[in-house]
Amino acid sequence: MRFFAPYLSSELLHRIDLARACQADFFRQNPRPDLKPAFGWLEFGVFTGGDERASPGTFQIEKKEAEKDGAFRVVVRLTWRPPDGPGFWHVAAIVVPEENRFVVDNVVFLKDENMSPLAPAEWRLSEELSQGCEGPHWVGYGDRQGSQKPPEN
């Protein structure tokens, strides 16, 4: 975060702070050290993806599209080199003007051929950061599979 924070919008930084507070609340509610947190965002890097995609080796900006609200959607190709050969995937950074400069306000994870056919076409980091949370409070996923919310007594 020290490296990326100057390039992130105040809104995205706020969402990240709320996610961190929610994570702390999760651990307060679930003190068992063997319990894996149910946060999807822990599986992803801010600009990367899950699993082997967490450490891209190279990137290339492929295109920039103007949005209606003055923002830009910047599509980036990320490449990694797993043991079975190189691969790539795409993300889109949503860039907005803030305090006389452009900053990243969101990251869109784009669907590609390596993802499950059941995966959504795309999803946003801002949505992933708030899953299972109400502001800084962990509330769980309700009946959704994988919920870590403790049972009510």
- Sorted by where each begins, the domain ranges of the chain are 5-138
Phi-psi region of 23 (alpha: psi -120 to 50; beta: other; left: phi over 0): alpha
Residue-wise pLDDT tens for the chain (153 aa)? 888 899 999 999 999 999 999 989 998 988 887 877 767 676 666 555 555 566 677 889 999 999 989 999 999 998 877 667 777 888 899 999 999 999 999 999 887 765 555 556 788 888 888 888 999 999 987 654 444 444 333
Long-range contacts of 99-106 (CB under 8 A, 24+ apart): 102/72, 103/7, 103/8, 103/9, 103/12, 104/7, 104/8, 104/9, 104/12, 105/8, 105/9, 105/11, 105/12, 105/71, 106/12
Quickly list DSSP for 107-137. EEEEP-TTS-TTS-SEEEHHHHHHTTEETTE
